[in-house]
Structure 1
Amino acid sequence: MGRAPGGSSLSSSALGSPGHPEHHDNFPRQAAELCAFLRDGFPTDHQFAHLKCLPAPNALRSLWMLGSGGGSAGLAGALGMGLALARFIAPRTCSPTIFDHHAQVLRQSGRSATPARLLAMAVICAETDQQARHIAGTAAYRKMMTSRGSREPLLPPEVVAERVTAMNAADRELFNATLDDMVVGSPEHCRREINELALQFSSRST
């Protein structure tokens, strides 16, 4: 589960209607209630205590939270959930210390299980580095423009290349930086970079 609904602010408002999700952050409470429901853990006097999860909770494999910062890591630890660290969302702020925080809160909550975590990355792989960067331009351009409030349909790499050529220097620099934040390249290049990130984010204290 994750905090963001995955769309624009308008679609978030539509999903939350008739409430106002942008004014009230109910996610921690909702996450705790969902965990209690799936684990059959509501107190007997809770308003949802008589709701039962099918199939039975003991058939559930595990619960994970997707997040890109310390807030989600702390909540996941407090609820005994695994943490999927969303490097594809915030590659420059995701650091191994977020995993450390998750493990610390998990221990403080009285849970002895080994922290379950994974690193979620944006990866585009092709036969050559050049081909991969060409293909990845579609995703990089979409992310760059979405950050500015523009949500066009996904464009073919050829169209993106034409738009990049017509960009001013500042926009081209931003586009290249967005592209560089992804894991992009040949199979050998991607394997090497993924292994480096795995080593960087591997457990140091747990």
Structure 2
Amino acid sequence: MIPLSVLDLVSVREGWSLGQALAEAPRVARVAEEAGYRRYWVAEHHGMPGIAGAATSVVLAHVGNATSRIRLGAGGIMLPNHNPFVIAEQFGALDALFPGRIDLGLGRAPGADARVAQMLHKDIAQASQYFPQDVVELAALFDGDPRLPLQATPGQGAAVEMWVLGSSLFGASLAARLGLPHAFASHFSPEQVDAALRLYREGFQPSARLAKPHAMVGMTVICAETDEEARFLASSQEQGFIALRNGTPGKMKPPIAGFRESLPPHLLAGLDHRRAASAIGSPETVRRAITAFVERTGADEVIVTGAVHDPEAHHRSLMLTMDALA
């Protein structure tokens, strides 16, 4: 059985407060832990009323106190937004609190639109050009490289598992060159996953952190007792995608029966494009879709994500998915 992990956007449902969304995060992580998922990751997004995970390291500390075994990580930290020294301190602290359980996925995107550069008082476009150097510096901080002018405390000696994230060929190439595991965001960028993983494997250079290539792929997965119920639950995420595309992101909306049938062809085509890396349906439908995607990509792990408005239905989806793959 291929290892499964969970990417949680810490969704703010319509009618919920931020506090309620953050209270739900450890519940999701506990469900994932009990079901046998390997990792629970939170992504850094900014300025989105429907996502409460912007302060990623804080959310992970909150979740860590409610769990005991599952690995906790960022999927990811958008490194151009930050100073590597500060991230080393944050994730060094997480490793000290939850030793042997911390992952750090690093991305080059800002996690928001261009306005985030104004709010951070930073030239994000320029900072992204130094992303490879910043990843190397961050690794040196964890390793306690004596050439550094100042060691990170916490941070130095932390056993943080570093990953390079990507939704294009750039991340795959960098992960290969640095000898790090690679997570590809095929759940929203499915068209380049095959080329990216091929580039990653062919160019991989072994490192002290990783002896051979290790790739994880993202999939949108929503599982229910029947295909019809799963498609109904998936309409919440589909509404969110349409709103984001229209520049009007908001809180997660309840599902709508027949939502796809109400859409014009160009919006439906956009949804179908994203479904190239999805598994939405009954346990058997989900099993077939995940198995086929893994066979096609040769992935070593799958990380699943999926916005479901009813928290209990979301928990049930995670459990059914794991049972289907067992």
Q: Which has the larger radius of gyration?
A: 1
Question: How large is the RMSD of aligned CA atoms in angstroms?
Answer: 2.8
TM-score (norm 2): 0.52
Pairing 1:103–2:207 present: no
Q: Which secondary structure state, in structure 1, belongs to the residue aligned with residue 248 of structure 2?
A: coil
Pairing 1:149–2:247 present: yes
Match of 2:152 in 1: 52
Pairing 1:189–2:189 present: no
Distance 2:276 2:177 in 1: 34
Q: Which secondary structure state, in structure 1, belongs to the residue aligned with residue 164 of structure 2?
A: strand
Contact 1:77 1:109 in 2 (8 A): no
Query: Which residue among 112, 116, 136 is the counterpart of 1:11?
Result: 116
Distance 1:122 1:55 in 2: 33
Amino acid at match of 2:280: V
Contact 2:187 2:274 in 1 (8 A): no
**Equivalent residues in 2 for 1:161-172 (5 A)?**
161=257, 164=260, 166-172=262-268
Any stretches of 5+ residues in structure 1 without a counterpart?
Answer: none
- Kindly state the Cα deviation for residue 13 of structure 1 after the two structures are TM-superposed: 3.9
Match of 1:134 in 2: 232
Distance 2:134 2:198 in 1: 24
Any stretches of 5+ residues in structure 2 without a counterpart?
Answer: 1-105, 300-326
- Tell me whether 107-116 or 59-68 shows the greater mean CA deviation: 107-116
Distance 2:115 2:265 in 1: 32
- Kindly state the Cα deviation for residue 37 of structure 1 after the two structures are TM-superposed: 1.2
Change (3 A) 1:197 1:169: closer
Amino acid at match of 2:125: E
Distance 2:265 2:173 in 1: 40
Q: Which secondary structure state, in structure 2, belongs to the residue aligned with residue 99 of structure 1?
A: helix
- Tell me whether 106-115 or 31-40 shows the greater mean CA deviation: 106-115
Change (3 A) 1:184 1:52: same
Pairing 1:22–2:137 present: no
- Kindly state the Cα deviation for residue 78 of structure 1 after the two structures are TM-superposed: 1.9
Contact 1:65 1:83 in 2 (8 A): yes
TM-score (norm 1): 0.78
Contact 2:182 2:216 in 1 (8 A): yes
Match of 1:83 in 2: 182
Q: Percent same amino acid at aligned positions?
A: 26
Contact 1:73 1:98 in 2 (8 A): yes
Alignment: residue pair count: 193
- Kindly state the Cα deviation for residue 30 of structure 1 after the two structures are TM-superposed: 1.8
Change (3 A) 1:176 1:69: closer
Change (3 A) 1:133 1:3: same
- Kindly state the Cα deviation for residue 36 of structure 1 after the two structures are TM-superposed: 1.7
Change (3 A) 1:9 1:138: farther
- Deviations, residues 157-201 of structure 1 (Å, cap 9, x unaligned): 12xx47655543433444454456522111111111111111111
Amino acid at match of 1:81: L
Match of 2:294 in 1: 198
- Kindly state the Cα deviation for residue 35 of structure 1 after the two structures are TM-superposed: 1.7
Contact 1:138 1:157 in 2 (8 A): yes
Match of 1:117 in 2: 215
Match of 2:322 in 1: none
Contact 1:2 1:67 in 2 (8 A): yes
